[in-house]
A = this chain, B = another copy of it.
Amino acid sequence: MSHRTARPRAVPASGADSASAWRSGRKRLRDHSVKRDAVIRVAARAFNERGFHNTSLDDIAAALEVTKPTIYYYVTNKEQLLFQCFVTGLEPIRAALNDVKMSQAPGRERLNAVLRQYAQAIASEFGWCMVRAEHQDLSPSMSEHIRALKAEIDQGIRRLLREGVRDGSIQPCDVKMTAFALAGALNWIPHWFREKQALTPAQIADAFVTLFEEGLRPRPTRARAPRRPAARAPNL
């Protein structure tokens, strides 16, 4: 079983006409990927609404208006669906951590970029699975894979905090506790967020990043500081 995310990927452009023989194959692969993504997305919504144990593959097939054997074409069992929900939800956070590795921006800015992606990922339909689903519902190897992904994200956030402290863009702090506090605030989002509420995930991310960055205590000279202080002289 592949551990890779099932998100649809753009088919790479090919300059060679001779590649036409591959096209139908590629299209089939893409269709398979798109449909598998739809199965996982519908499963995530169902688990969110009813809980993992109260959702059957029949329910998911019914929601997709397909037969259960069709579902088996994309996943082997419900456990694998839950696993894919985890992976699909966690992947954008991991991708954001990789993206900022290339950046020369101060640690705090890179951290904020990751936290914004994190907030959006966790406010997605995969949020519930990412934070509420139990590891005991997964096979040991799946559970181990998810733990490793989560540890990678946790370590990535701690690394950005350390780098920010080192470059002066982040106040010296207990890096481990701070990472737990930031992740906790974000991981709690699925407990209260509803898709139809007033704020979008991006707006929630903004409000959270502002709080983490500015703190509750008014700042002497910038009580109404801009949200992107990095645009000013750093480390004043």
Which residues of A pack against B, CB within 8 Å? Answer: 51, 108, 111, 134, 136, 161, 164, 168-174, 177-178, 180-189, 191-192, 199, 204, 207-208, 210-221, 223-224, 229, 235-236
Q: Are B213 and A178 in contact (CB under 8 A)?
A: no
Instruction: Determine the main DSSP class of A at the interface with B.
Output: helix
Residues of B close to A108: CB separation below 8 A? 216-217
Neighbour of A215 across the interface among B168, B186, B213, B236, CB < 8 A:
B213
Residues of B close to A215: CB separation below 8 A? 171, 211-217
19 further interface pairs, Cβ-Cβ under 8 Å (given A181-B211, A219-B219): A108-B216, A164-B216, A170-B218, A171-B214, A171-B215, A171-B218, A172-B223, A173-B207, A173-B216, A174-B207, A177-B207, A178-B207, A180-B188, A181-B207, A181-B208, A184-B185, A184-B188, A184-B191, A219-B220
Q: Are B172 and A210 in contact (CB under 8 A)?
A: no
